[in-house]
Amino acid sequence: MFPKETRILVVDDMSSIRDLVRSQLRGMGYNDVVECSNGADALSSLVSGTQSGRPIGLVISDWNMPIMTGLEFLRNVRSKPEFAALPVVLLTSEAEREQVTEAVLSGVSQYVVKPFSAKVFEDKLKGAWQKHNK
């Protein structure tokens, strides 16, 4: 599992979902949580975190957001060599096979369908950790 000092970026246009994810993370012992409301701001946070010496170690992003969708954000992240291996978990209410396939082909680490239980959330984070730490 991710070390407890991991800096986690939570990206969602709904503050209530960011609050829920932050609460789940805190319940799991993670306290270094950065929040953004869209993919464009999230990209800036990734860059500034790296430049400041406090890099993001995990991203949990919504799929449906204004300005830049979670899928567009993921593709941007994967296109940058410094972030190509960064674990990215997409949260979404979309469960269509085509969308899951599109996310997998774009390099998503895990995919969580809303609403989700604490157990499913933790299992998906464990899966993302394992995928990137084999």
Q: Which helix (H) or strand (E) holds 62?
A: strand 58-62
Q: Residue 41 has what pLDDT?
A: 97
Report how many domains make up the chain.
1
- Per-position pLDDT tens, the chain of length 134: 999 999 999 999 999 999 999 999 999 999 999 999 999 999 999 999 999 999 999 999 999 999 999 999 999 999 999 999 999 999 988 777 888 899 999 999 999 988 899 999 999 999 999 999 97
Any domain includes 28: yes
Q: Residue 96 has what pLDDT?
A: 78
Any domain includes 1: no
Q: Please list, residue by residue across 49-59, b when 16 or more beta carbons sit within 10 angstroms of its beta carbon and e when fewer do.
A: beeeeebbbbb
Q: Residue 90 has what pLDDT?
A: 95
Any domain includes 64: yes
Domain extent, residue 105, equals: 8-129
Q: Residue 75 has what pLDDT?
A: 97
CATH at 125: 3.40.50.2300
